[in-house]
Structure 1
Amino acid sequence: MDEYQLLADLHEGTARQGPGGETETLLAMNLAGLDSSHPLRIADIGCGTGASSVLLAGKLDAHVVAVDLFAEFLDQLGPRAAAAGVADRITTLACSMDALPFREGEFDVVWSEGAAYCMGFEAAVSAWRRFLKPGGVLAVSEITWLGAARPSEIQEYWEREYPEIDVASAKMGVMERCGYSPEGYFVQPPHCWREHYYRPLERRFDSFLARHGCCGAGEQGGGASQANQVGQGKQAQAVIDAVKAEIALYEQYGAYYGYGFYVGRRL
């Protein structure tokens, strides 16, 4: 099992696979001028287990195509949509975000919370533009520096993890170069990280490690099987150690960065 599969397994049982919140999704909808006055077709790219997809389908007169690379996440979205009474308004698609099968101008809205970094912000907003109708809305949340200066430790960490991290003005410049008119921006507050993302993730650490051969699970069996279990246990522990390090950095330096929510319109 590779690192991406392990990360998917760690996140599989959580409501959100990145920082965010219902209030913040609604605020982005308002900034984008989205309402239920007319039908919309929306692509929610990197939807995870569907927190935003379900909200968009419930609050708008919309059909949502919910896209994620991991079918396991989409399997959870189905019951979640059914419980919210919007199953008939959501279609799921297991697909890589850089190989989407959509037609030119197919959507009124392209939505993506906390996922564009998988392609890189510029590559994502540039590639997804063609799927929007002229005048269509792009709404994307993206890791963002909150000011011009920051301690070297956090600068080096994020430039290593995601070199495209930048200030909001630079991100808006990217949108403009890619053929959008920026129309709204806000920073997600700390509870989107702590209460909605990190705390639920922390509650899964022990069960995740036990599931992947840590805490003595690798002592059963022998030979190649035991070696594989031990190896997977080490991989799983490395994933948890990396997440713990990220959380510790946020607790220390969270005033310097956050997820910015960007809303633009295709020119």
Structure 2
Amino acid sequence: MSNENKSIHEFDFNLICEYFSAIERQGPGSAEMTVKALSFIENLNNESRIADLGCGTGSQTITLAQHGPGQITAIDLFPAFIDHLNQHAEKLKLHDRIRGVAGSMDNLPFQEASLDLIWSEGAIYNIGFEKGLKYWKKFLKTGGYVAVTEASWFTGSRPAEIEKFWMDAYPEIDTIPNKVACILESGYMPVAAFILPEYCWTKNFYLPQAAAQRNFLEKHKGNATAESLIRNEMHEARLYDKYKAFYGYVFYIGKKI
């Protein structure tokens, strides 16, 4: 695999954390899309227990707390992201409802059937879509919800260049009907699926990286790994601009049955 087609996981753990800590979002998304997805979730109240898995620095975690009830436990592998989230929650006086915890989405600290909602924006790929849905289900109450964003094909076929990129980066990428079928087969009733608009990628994710990339390269001048990381991110952005008609993120919402 070339340097311009590496998985983000192949880079230095600390460098990844440092780079993505400098931007508000660690993946495509928007507050509007978080709120839209939340509108499909029924029966939440002040006692509801919510887990935000792979929360990053918690942009969507804050939005969840601002637009819905419940107690939120936000989990991410990077302790620096969790520190950022907890500080932000305290500043906004949401620390009584948001608790950030460093941990892994494939080793959850919850009791079975204890959660009303599992949320994960741009992160379920870390464990795999099908594996994540099946493993997380046991932590949901019957009637509880899962809401995730997942890279998906918009068409049945696509150009070889973008096909190869995604097959190398995330072989589980699939069409929307196949993802919905996977939700059903994993023991959920599919509730909703909608495509995130283009601005979630361009304005909210790739554009803010420009300044972060300049600062990062200046700080790590001569560091081949850091330079490779930035080349990788720039390559990904170019591919999206070229092939955005063929793929993107989709919000999938399911209800445990």
With normalisation by structure 2, the TM-score equals 0.93
Is structure 2 residue 184 aligned with structure 1 residue 176?
yes
1:239 to 207, 222, 229: 229
Aligned to 1:127: 135
Please name the residue that 1:201 is paired with.
209
Q: For 1:156 and 1:237, locate their aligned partners in 2 and report how far apart those are by CA, in whole Å.
A: 23
Alignment counterpart, residue 33 of structure 1, candidates 19, 27, 42: 42
Could you say what secondary structure the match of 1:99 adopts? coil
Identity of aligned residues (%): 38
Show the counterpart of 1:230: none
Task: Give the Å deviation of 1:93.
Answer: 1.0
Q: Does 1:78 align with 2:93?
A: no
* Residue 148 in structure 1 maps to residue 138 in structure 2: no
Deviates more, 1:241-250 or 1:3-12: 3-12
Decide whether the 8 Å contact of 2:75 with 2:100 is kept in 1.
yes
Letter in 1 for 2:249: Y
Q: How does 1:1-267 map to 2 (within 5 A)?
A: 2-33=11-42, 37=45, 39-214=47-222, 233-267=223-257
CA distance in structure 1 between the partners assigned to 2:14 and 2:206 by the alignment:
19
- Output the aligned Cα RMSD: 1.4
Distance in 1 between the 2:229 and 2:101 partners? 27
Q: Is the Cα contact below 8 Å between 1:140 and 1:263 reproduced in 2?
A: yes
Higher helix share: 1
8 Å CA contact 2:54–2:123 kept in 1: the answer is yes
Once superposed, which parts of structure 1, at least 4 consecutive aligned residues long, lie more than 6 Å away? none
- Give the number of the structure whose alpha-carbon radius of gyration is greater: 1
**Could you list the runs of 5+ residues in structure 2 that have no partner in the other structure?**
1-9
Find the aligned partners of 1:77 and 1:10 in 2 and give their Cα distance.
16
Amino acid in structure 1 at the alignment position of 2:17: A
Q: 1:9 deviation in Å?
A: 1.3
Contact 2:86 2:99 in 1 (8 A): no
| Distance in 1 (alpha carbons) for counterparts of 2:140 and 2:227 | 42
Q: CA deviation at 1:24?
A: 0.1
Task: Write out per-residue CA displacement over residues 180-213 of structure 1, whole angstroms, 9 at most, x where no aligned residue.
Answer: 1100010000100011111111210121122224
